[in-house]
Amino acid sequence: MSIDIDVKQATKTIVLNAADLAFKHVSLKGVAKAPVVIFDTQQETATLTFASPVSAGKHVLSIDYTGKINQHAAGLFALDYDTAAGSKRALFTQFENSDARRFVPSWDQPDPKATFSLTATVPADLMPLSNMPIAKTVKLSKGMQRVSFAETPKMSSYLLFFGLGDFERITNEVNGVEVGVVVKRGDTDKAKYALDAASHILPFYEDYFGVKYPLPKLDLIAGPGQSQFFGAMENWGAIFYFERDLLIDPRISTQDDQRQVYEVIAHEMAHQWFGDLVTMDWWDGIWLNEGFASWMEVKATDHFHPEWKVWLEALNSKEAAMRVDARAGTHPIITPIRDVLQADQAFDTITYEKGESVIRMLEVYVGADAFRDGVRTYIKAHTYGNTVTDDLWRELDKTAPMPVTQVAHEFTLQAGIPLIRVGATATGIHLTQDRFAVDDSAKAGGTWHVPVTVSSVGGTVLWQGLVSADKPADVAVSAGTVAVINAGQAGYFRTLYDAASLAKVAGNFQVLQPADQIGILNDSRALGYAGYEPLSDFLALTKRVTPDMPPHVIEDVTGRLDQLNFLYEGLPGQAAFQAYARSVLDPVLAKLGWEAVPGEDQNSAVLRTTVILVLGNLNDPAVIAEARKRFATYVKDPTSLTPDLRRDVLRIVAEYADAATWDQIHTLAKDAKSNLEKRELYVLLGTTLDKDLAAKALDLSLTDEMPVTSRPGMPSAVSAHHTDMAVDFVAAHADFFDSLLEPDNRAGYLPRIASQSRDLGTLQKIDDYAAKRIPEDARGVVVRAESTIRENAGVRSARLPDVDAWLAAQPH
Ligand SMILES: [Zn+2]
């Protein structure tokens, strides 16, 4: 490789990034003597020291080097897969955040942008891919060819891509751009859904961002494998996806899979502008990339599929963010990042889901048109450049009808969740601001200017404004009107009603807007876990749920009941809880039925799969028996189940499997032809309630029988019911699992598995492991896992007794 460099000031040393590379020859054009090269494996740098100073001005630095092909998705890596003609290998690259240095010596950080010209010598019968189209091909002897890709636009090193394999590609011409989906040979029928989605989304983004997609082609590339860490990567013009996130297999993909795939496509394509064309200066700005793309994926999906009501689904993302943000170990959205290890940790729930939620809140606060106009001027002003977050706020301040920066700073530069307390007054309600947390992190306090919307139950806006600790608000509410706080639920905060106000809202639960029904359920659940109000208040709300409520609301309740069941596992009160939860969900299943009803909306279809699965978790005898019956038929005739039911039936049967059934699923996994299916079936083996079978499943992950990239998924699957067993297993085979994981993912792997625990005894195991194997700079993940376990254990000991008492008091 050679790099055009511009030396600003005469120097004897040049330092660049390189990791796992061996340099054979280094030269600077016009300098006779080769420099001395010293590698720093910690810093992942190579220092070139020249005998005499290199003069200021333009130079060409050339390095002849070799590198490695990894088995995990970092740098250049291989994915092996089975075909009728035997095992095949495909190559891909994965560089974000800092692994381009494993492929090419470079200044491997976001801000020094460069153009890249890639040439590869490859077997002529394979398809090479990069960010740009092939500009030139030269036939060589022995079935080889040399391909040169067109020069890329100016971009960051982490966006460079190379892929090679026995691929097929289907394409569409969209606004002068060739949109392609690339799959391994034989899979083009699974690619059509993605090609269609991408072809719609491209012009939508060109309009929203106000800038044409700048490359001549855009490929969406499917890799046969998986990572514990990511599903897709937005390489400019050559987006990489693991198959599960791109392909729709009509035999096994569910209707929910279609939505997930649509959203991931929309997410990565949003990055083509937000991230690729305009890039953060440094990794502390990664939230702007990820929060923005996560928000935009919902916006684009909602545009093309309004019937899915994905904004209601997005309330789940906010809930996920708030769970992390309410505990020790949370951090501000924008947090200082010293080095690569810390950057690895920044790809978390706060960055993605809180980022998404805060952007949603700001969009609603300033208005969708003003927000879009600000984004357009921001993109135009920084095309091919690097930015800091304040560059966006500055543009929004110009286009929005009110100042944005202060509110934006308070939600991005400080951690935590505002709590809006609602008190009844003689003339209406009084709103004050506090901080919500499940532990001592609440004591840190915090002031936010919180955008609050108050509506009537019918949806009429009564008041909008900012509420802060130093500026509470009084809202006039006429007698007979019930005030709903955070109406529409775009606000990133929790609402704590006083008992009288809550009773009024709960009394009108059935007639609230669906978003507010979900919001009140979620707040009530969270306030109950944290002890702000009795957890039984949440249970009382679930009693008001009826089968004819909107599917997303029932979906939300179903998820929360499932979560409580998880916390109840092994406690004496679990059976009574399960009986109650079944009494809420059985009528829903009775209404939906097991079979799809012709013409039903897709939300009901997705809800059916959730309700059946959760009833399975709740030990519903009828559901388990039905699943077993259908499984027996399925084994003889795989076409007997729709993909939606197939997924549920397999999961329920696997969870309650005896040894013979487990062996049956094992055989299905061994015989599975498609990589997607194989991966799914193996992981199911780990979800069993049976301890001995779970141990057998763990042992499988050490064998060559499982696809390499699926093996780390097994302890994760086992951890749901046997957390300590999974933790002990990973600790005992730590070197083995590390060898399968991307370096970025090693520190977080065991803590994430351990965070399923509901037992304080697991804390010591994490500490022991961390002391031996997790570098100091990467221990944020340990703090977060431990605060999750403390919350789980705390709810079990301090809150569930209140639920037990409430259940006992219910009429039978
Ligand atoms: Zn992303």
Residue 278 Cα, ligand 1 centroid: separation in angstroms? 14
Q: How far is the CA of 229 from the centre of ligand 1 (A)?
A: 12
Nearest to 283 by CA among 353, 337, 235, 232: 337
Q: How far is the CA of 100 from the centre of ligand 1 (A)?
A: 17
Average pLDDT over residues 459-466: 95
* Amino acid 278: pLDDT: 98
**Does 774 have pLDDT greater than 90?**
yes
Q: Which residues of 387-409 are buried (b: 16+ CB within 10 A; e: fewer)?
A: bebebbbbbbbebbeeebeebbb
Query: How confident is residue 676, by pLDDT bands cut at 50, 70 and 90?
Result: confident
Q: Is the pLDDT of residue 147 over 90?
A: yes
Distances (CA, A) of 235 to 129, 132, 205, 517, 695: 12, 11, 17, 39, 39
Ligand 1 centre to CA of 287 (Å) is 9
Q: Assign 251 a pLDDT band (cuts: 50, 70, 90).
A: confident
The rounded Å distance from CA 234 to ligand 1 centre is: 7
Q: Which residues of 774-794 are buried (b: 16+ CB within 10 A; e: fewer)?
A: beeebbbbbbbbbbbbbbbbb
Amino acid 62: pLDDT: 97
If we measure between CA atoms, which residue out of 111, 450, 129 comes closest to residue 285? 111
Q: How far is CA 446 from CA 150, 354, 497, 575, in A?
A: 51, 17, 20, 41
> Hey, which bits of 509-589 come out as E strands?
none
* Residue 122 bridge partners (DSSP): 145
Average pLDDT over residues 112-130: 97
Q: What is the pLDDT of residue 450?
A: 98
What per-residue confidence (pLDDT) applies to 527? 97
pLDDT band at 494 (very low <50, low <70, confident <90, very high): very high
Task: Report pLDDT for 218.
Answer: 98
Residue 184 Cα to ligand 1 midpoint, Å, equals: 24
Q: In this structure, what are the phi and psi dihedrals at residue 401, rounded to the nearest 5 degrees? A: -75, -10
Return the pLDDT at 424. 93
Q: What pLDDT, on the 0 to 100 scale, is given for residue 539?
A: 97
Q: For residue 478, what are the CA distances in angstroms to 455, 481, 483, 778?
A: 12, 6, 9, 54
| 74 token code pair | 């970092």
Q: What is the whole-number distance in angstroms between the Cα of residue 288 and the centre of ligand 1?
A: 10
Tokens of 683: 């992981």
Per residue in 34-89, pLDDT (tens digit) is: 999 999 999 999 999 999 999 999 999 999 999 999 988 999 999 999 888 889 99
In this predicted structure, what is the pLDDT of residue 37? 97
pLDDT at 31: 87
Percent of the chain, pLDDT > 90? 91
Distance 784 CA to ligand 1 centre (A): 22
Supply the mean pLDDT for the chain. Answer: 95
Annotated catalytic sites, by residue? 268
Q: How far apart are CA 247 and CA 379, in angstroms?
A: 31
User: What's the rounded Cα separation, in Å, for the pair 28 and 292?
Assistant: 41
Distance 355 CA to ligand 1 centre (A): 11
What's the pLDDT at 442?
Answer: 74
Query: Contact 69/88 with Cβ under 8 angstroms?
Result: no
- What does the pLDDT average to over 287-295? 95
Is the pLDDT at 812 greater than 80? The verdict is no
Q: Quick one: what percent of the chain has pLDDT higher than 70? A: 100
| SS3 (DSSP) at 211 | coil
- Residue 673: per-residue pLDDT: 82
Residue 777 has a pLDDT of 82
By C-alpha distance, which of 120, 111, 118, 119 is closest to 155?
111
Going by pLDDT thresholds of 50, 70 and 90, the confidence category of residue 342 is confident
In the prediction, which pLDDT does 131 show?
98
Residue 663, pLDDT score = 97
The predicted pLDDT at position 441 comes to 81
pLDDT of residue 811: 85
